[in-house]
Structure 1
Amino acid sequence: MDDTFDPDLIHAIFKLVWSRRAHECERNEGTEALESEVGAGTSKKNRPTSVNANALKLSCELLRVFVTEAVQRAATIAEAEGVSKIEATHLERILPQLLLDF
């Protein structure tokens, strides 16, 4: 499984998304709404978000499969058009069905 995404990279992306979402929630809803969702004593704002090592490996594998499938489907479209290079339009055409399949 050496040809998968780097777990450190995926973890960094997850952390970036989590911090952006936390910042947006603080800005949009205020701290009172966040604390009422969690319950007594702990607010979401104060809890660190983390990922299990196995979940991170699984996420890397899922991303690898998703990207591989996207490239294969786009290549099929490009080949049907008689083009040897995959272009953005090929990806745009396969994306709706690919997202439904995943």
Structure 2
Amino acid sequence: MDEQNIDPGLIHEIFKHVWTRTALEREKNERNEAPTDADLVIVGGAGTSKKNRPTSANSNALKLSAELIRIFISEAVQRAAAIAEAEGETKIEATHFERILPQLLLDF
């Protein structure tokens, strides 16, 4: 099988999307609650809230995350193909993935 790499830039964009959604949900929840001392962090002598700090990712962490996702997808396809082959199928269907997913998640 020809293995393709997943672009770390794509992973970074996905992470940024999740971080943005999480921050928006946190702000929405904070409107109903008073801030606590744990929400404040002292950085360089100046107080700043967690929601105002930019979230970033180390380039090595992005490369590692991309590789982990590539391995996860590859393993999922291989396991689903084995199930399909055992059933005499020539195509992998969604049901094959549904059957392997619980054990795959436990393995990772």
Long gaps (5+) in structure 1: none
Equivalenced residue count is 101
Alignment of 1:67-82 (within 5 A): 67-82=73-88
Larger Rg: 2
- Unpaired runs of 5+ residues, structure 2, are none
| Alpha-carbon distance in 2 for matches of 1:101, 1:59 | 17
Percent pairwise identity: 66
TM-score, normalization by structure 1: 0.89
How far is the alpha carbon of 1:81 from its aligned partner?
A: 0.6
Q: How does 1:5-24 map to 2 (within 5 A)?
A: 5-24=6-25
Q: 1:63 aligns with which of 69, 80, 100?
A: 69
SS of residue matched to 2:35: helix
Amino acid corresponding to residue 19 of structure 2 in structure 1: W
Which structure has more strand as a fraction of its residues? 2
| Inter-partner Cα distance in structure 1 for 2:48 and 2:107 | 38
Aligned-partner residue type, residue 65 of structure 1: I
1:19-98 matches, within 5 Å, as 19-30=20-31, 32-33=34-35, 36-40=38-42, 41-98=47-104
Consecutive aligned runs of 4 or more in structure 1 exceeding 6 Å deviation: none
Using the TM superposition, give the Cα deviation of residue 38 of structure 1 relative to its aligned residue in structure 2, in angstroms: 4.0
- Return the alpha-carbon distance in structure 1 between the equivalents of residues 73 and 37 of structure 2: 38
**RMSD (Å) for aligned C-alpha atoms:** 1.8
Quote how far apart the aligned CAs of 1:101 are.
Answer: 0.6
1:37-70 C-alpha deviation (Å, 9 max, x unpaired)? 3434121111100000000000000000000000
TM-score, with structure 2 as normaliser = 0.85
